[in-house]
Amino acid sequence: MSYSIAIDGPAASGKSTAAKIIAKRLKFLYVDTGAMYRAVTLLMLEKGLDTKDSKQAESILEECHIREDREGRIYLNDRDVTSRVRENDVSSQVSYACAHKCVRERLVALQQEMAKSENVIMDGRDIGTVVLKDATLKVFQIASVQARAERRYLENKAKGIAVESLEQIKEDIERRDYIDSHRENSPLMKASDAIEVDTSDMTIEEEVDVIIHLFRERIGETSWNNLVQSL
């Protein structure tokens, strides 16, 4: 029996950071679905394509080969783009590129294939509603726009990424929230059986502890003990 944890939520709510830590602690495969969409966006930008044009997005899918390793690094056509896909030009366009049905269908199929034979944890916008509809645990993570903007600002600064003003980051996050929530294909929404977690005032460690506790409750003590013994 394999387990799966789905974490959905808006941009910069701490999903990826928490998911990576949980994956290491439980020895789950971490799948950064957001980075996969960012890789598609990056390829479109590099080819000078319009990220809002679905036909142009579809035109590059056959040559867009994406994979992730167990260290959480993402590769586009065998090129390590882990840091590149987090830069501002990609961040500002990813909501447009990932809204196209052709892109979502291609990547969702790839993500579901990854989850067939391993314990996985995935984060994104539609994991609990589309990708892993039968996930063992579904979490919908939220945080205030102010808290998310501050996190993204500090995160970019720490990574040496060109830092926008805090106000600009807030505007970008609000714009992404609107696009993600109103797109036609797989919009950002809370699954009916997801547990909402507000991380506005949480540290990453607190966030991780909450999600692991919820997972432990969900599978029960016997299964939890068996999982721990296998680590």
Please say if the pLDDT value at position 11 is more than 90.
no
In a domain, 130, yes or no: yes
- Report pLDDT digits (tens) over 25-53: 999 999 988 899 999 999 999 999 999 99
> Where residue 172 sits, what CATH number does that domain have?
3.40.50.300
- Which among 210, 230, 44, 39 has a CA at the least distance from the CA of 141? 210
* Prediction pTM value: 0.85
In a domain, 180, yes or no: yes
- Report pLDDT digits (tens) over 199-223: 999 999 999 999 999 999 999 999 9
In a domain, 21, yes or no: yes
- Report pLDDT digits (tens) over 93-113: 998 998 899 999 999 999 999
In a domain, 230, yes or no: no
In a domain, 227, yes or no: no
Give the full edge-to-edge strand order of the sheet including 79-80.
66-68, 74-76, 79-80
Please say if the pLDDT value at position 138 is more than 90.
yes
In a domain, 30, yes or no: yes
pLDDT at site 214: 98
In a domain, 129, yes or no: yes
- Which among 130, 142, 138 has a CA at the least distance from the CA of 103? 130
- Report pLDDT digits (tens) over 143-184: 999 999 999 888 888 877 777 788 999 998 999 899 889 988
Please state, in angstroms and rounded to a whole number, the distance separating the CA atoms of residues 122 and 124: 7
pLDDT at site 117: 84
- Report pLDDT digits (tens) over 57-75: 999 999 999 998 888 899 9
Residues 112-118, mean pLDDT to the nearest whole number: 89
pLDDT band at 142 (very low <50, low <70, confident <90, very high): very high
Dihedral of alpha carbons 91, 21, 9, 190, sign: positive
Residue 201, classified by CB atoms within 10 Å of its CB into exposed (0-12), middle (13-18) or buried (19+), is exposed
State the residue range of the domain holding 191: 4-221
In angstroms, how far is CA 194 from the centroid of its own chain?
16
pLDDT at site 71: 81
In a domain, 226, yes or no: no
In the chain, the number of structural domains is 1
